[in-house]
């Protein structure tokens, strides 16, 4: 065998800087935020392509004309290329390559390059698809996210991941691409269905349970206000949840998930499999709520979490109107453990709860105890449905 005689080795770091802004009605001509974000050092106006979730377009029928008027008003800063491109919202945006091809073709048609911007407006699935298409065009076109759901404003829209589903597996194909900016606009929350309003709360419960007991206590104390759609309360939840997610990405030393640990996916191994088994009838946030209930119950059954803490978690989730159980949650869900490990590589690493606000990682799951956890929350749900 030939020996390596020489080697050249270098180490370099890439600095990323991305900002999350909170505003109201960003496409109002009186609001300069987007124009300020798009403004570059170049003398000519920046090219911009906008991709819009068709569900958002339906809920906000004047939005496309407002976008066109906005860019007309700020034409010295940015040029809108073509009409606003609409794609299917919800998980349908991620279940096929069709939308990716459509977006990449539009990037080519309009001459969008690395000094241009692709703006994605929509829920988490649309942001995922558009972000992925931007990341693979010219090896990376700058993209801006405008999340329109609670879940995308407090969780998925503020991360650095993009992806689409493939071979029946959640986010099997994707990329890490840091958005140039994220713009949270409260105007989009007003038209959400009650189901979508609630779904995003599960991600706040998740991060609070593993990192911040006081935040979890605050959520429990504000169950009624959140359920009744009090906007200031929801805005506080979104802000704190997003802040914690961005802090984790920026400070833990593994923003692109090169290791086996992924604490922000507490409750997600079962959630991803449950989504797939339901043919995505179950919303991501609903599946996460069930996954949190399952892993919290398992934590209790193996002696990590005390009974009162588990009861507090289950009561909080149930009180918000989020599901704790689904009939498709059975022993077959355990296949999701292997798929979760495969997605990260390395050894299986699952986040459980040691106490409220404190997570602990384990590398082995007792399948019989996990089945017992499923039976526990099934019984809990049946009892609470009878008494509610």
Which ranges of the chain have pLDDT less than 50? none
Domain region containing 235: 196-387
Residues 289 and 360 in one domain: yes
Residues 300 and 361 in one domain: yes
With respect to residue 3, please indicate whether it lies within any of the assigned structural domains. Answer: no
| pLDDT tens, residue by residue, 335-362 | 888 888 876 667 888 999 999 999 999 9
Query: What pLDDT sits at residue 343?
Result: 66
Dihedral angle of Cα 341, 344, 347, 349, to the nearest 10 degrees: -70
Residues 66 and 162 in one domain: yes
Please tell me the distance from the alpha carbon of residue 143 to that of residue 113, in angstroms, as a whole number: 11
Residues 108 and 90 in one domain: yes
Residues 224 and 292 in one domain: yes
Residues 128 and 203 in one domain: no
- The separation between CA 264 and the C-alpha centre of its own chain, rounded to angstroms, equals 10
Please tell me the distance from the alpha carbon of residue 184 to that of residue 207, in angstroms, as a whole number: 19
Give the CATH number of the domain where residue 306 resides.
Answer: 1.20.1090.10
Residues 348 and 227 in one domain: yes
- Among 165, 191, 217, give the residue marking a domain's end: 191
Residue among 77, 84, 96, 83 at smallest CA distance from 122:
84
Per the CB < 8 A criterion, the answer to whether 68 and 34 are in contact is: no
Residues 147 and 282 in one domain: no
Give the CATH number of the domain where residue 64 resides.
Answer: 3.40.50.1970
- Among 137, 166, 191, give the residue marking a domain's end: 191
Q: 3-class DSSP state for residue 360?
A: strand
Residues 290 and 158 in one domain: no
pTM of the entire predicted model: 0.91
Query: What pLDDT sits at residue 43?
Result: 67
- Block residue for tokens 């400070």: 251
Query: What pLDDT sits at residue 285?
Result: 95
Per the structure, the count of domains in the chain is: 2
With respect to residue 239, please indicate whether it lies within any of the assigned structural domains. Answer: yes
- Write out the DSSP string of 41-84: SSSSPEEEEEEEEHHHHHHSTTHHHHHHHHHHHTTTTEEE-SSP
């Amino acid at each position: 065998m030939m020996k390596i005689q020489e080697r050249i080795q270098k180490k370099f770091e890439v600095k990323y800087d991305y900002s999350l802004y909170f505003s109201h009605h960003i496409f109002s001509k009186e609001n300069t935020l987007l124009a300020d974000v798009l403004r570059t050092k170049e003398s000519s106006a920046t090219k911009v392509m906008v991709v819009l979730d068709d569900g958002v377009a339906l809920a906000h029928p004047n939005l496309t004309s407002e976008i066109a008027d906005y860019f007309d008003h700020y034409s010295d800063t940015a040029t809108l290329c073509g009409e606003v491109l609409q794609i299917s919202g919800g998980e349908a945006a991620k279940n096929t390559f069709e939308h990716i091809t459509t977006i990449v073709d539009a990037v080519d048609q309009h001459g969008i390059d690395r000094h241009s911007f692709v703006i994605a407006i929509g829920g988490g699935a649309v942001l995922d698809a558009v972000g992925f298409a931007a990341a693979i065009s010219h090896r990376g076109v700058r993209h801006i996210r405008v999340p329109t759901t609670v879940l995308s404003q407090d969780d998925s829209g503020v991360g650095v991941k993009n992806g689409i589903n493939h071979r029946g597996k959640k986010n099997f194909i994707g990329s890490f691409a840091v958005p140039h900016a994220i713009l949270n606009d409260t105007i989009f929350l007003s038209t959400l269905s009650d189901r979508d309003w609630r779904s995003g709360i599960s991600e706040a419960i998740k991060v609070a349970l593993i990192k911040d007991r006081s935040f979890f206590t605050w959520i429990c104390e504000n169950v009624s206000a959140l359920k009744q759609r009090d906007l200031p309360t929801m805005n506080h939840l979104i802000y704190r949840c997003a802040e914690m997610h961005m802090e984790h990405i920026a400070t833990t030393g593994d923003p692109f998930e090169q290791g086996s640990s992924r604490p922000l996916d507490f409750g997600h191994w079962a959630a991803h499999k449950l989504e797939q088994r339901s043919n995505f009838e179950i919303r991501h946030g609903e599946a996460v709520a069930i996954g949190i209930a399952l892993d919290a119950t398992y934590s209790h059954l193996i002696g990590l979490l005390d009974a009162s803490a588990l009861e507090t978690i289950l009561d909080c989730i149930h009180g918000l109107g989020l599901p704790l159980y689904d009939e498709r949650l059975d022993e077959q869900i355990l296949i999701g453990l292997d798929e979760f490990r495969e997605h990260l590589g390395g050894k299986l690493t699952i986040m459980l709860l040691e106490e409220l606000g404190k997570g602990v990682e384990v590398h082995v799951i007792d399948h019989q105890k996990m089945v017992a956890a499923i039976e526990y929350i099934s019984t809990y749900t049946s009892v609470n449905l009878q008494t509610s």
